[in-house]
Amino acid sequence: AQKVTQAQTEISVVEKEDVTLDCVYETRDTTYYLFWYKQPPSGELVFLIRRNSFDEQNEISGRYSWNFQKSTSSFNFTITASQVVDSAVYFCALTTSYDKVIFGPGTSLSVIP
């Protein structure tokens, strides 16, 4: 069975602080894909990143970075120097090829000015 756990339900940080959102996944498949999505208060769901199981390189995009570690089955997301516009619910997700996507429960991030 596949599962995605986001243990942090809600996080509050003060603007300019760094924050890491945790994601732990479970799968028996050797080929799989991991994703992060953002849902701002306006409600739309925005794709942020995809990683496949054969690529453990960390990814950096501006203030966003992702740390994929197969040894701990984790795919964590760090926002550096957080801004109010980063306030949103963030979802981690998992899929194996030719299967539906499993979403985690989401982490609600509040960045306080």
Partner 1 sequence: DADVTQTPRNRITKTGKRIMLECSQTKGHDRMYWYRQDPGLGLRLIYYSFDVKDINKGEISDGYSVSRQAQAKFSLSLESAIPNQTALYFCATSDFVGTQYFGPGTRLTVL
At closest approach, how far in Å is the CB of 66 from partner 1? 15
At closest approach, how far in Å is the CB of 24 from partner 1? 15
* Between 15 and 99, CB nearer to partner 1: 99
At closest approach, how far in Å is the CB of 96 from partner 1? 8
Do 62 and 80 contact (CB within 8 A), yes or no? no
Do 90 and 77 contact (CB within 8 A), yes or no? yes
Residues that bind partner 1 (CB under 8 A): 33, 35, 37, 43-47, 50, 52, 91, 93, 95, 97-101, 103-106
The token pair at 33 is 């894909």
Q: Which residues contact 6 (CB under 8 A, 6 or more apart)?
A: 21, 22, 23, 24, 90, 91, 92, 104, 105, 106, 107
* Between 100 and 113, CB nearer to partner 1: 100
* Between 18 and 99, CB nearer to partner 1: 99
The token pair at 77 is 């997301």
The token pair at 101 is 């996507």
At closest approach, how far in Å is the CB of 67 from partner 1? 20
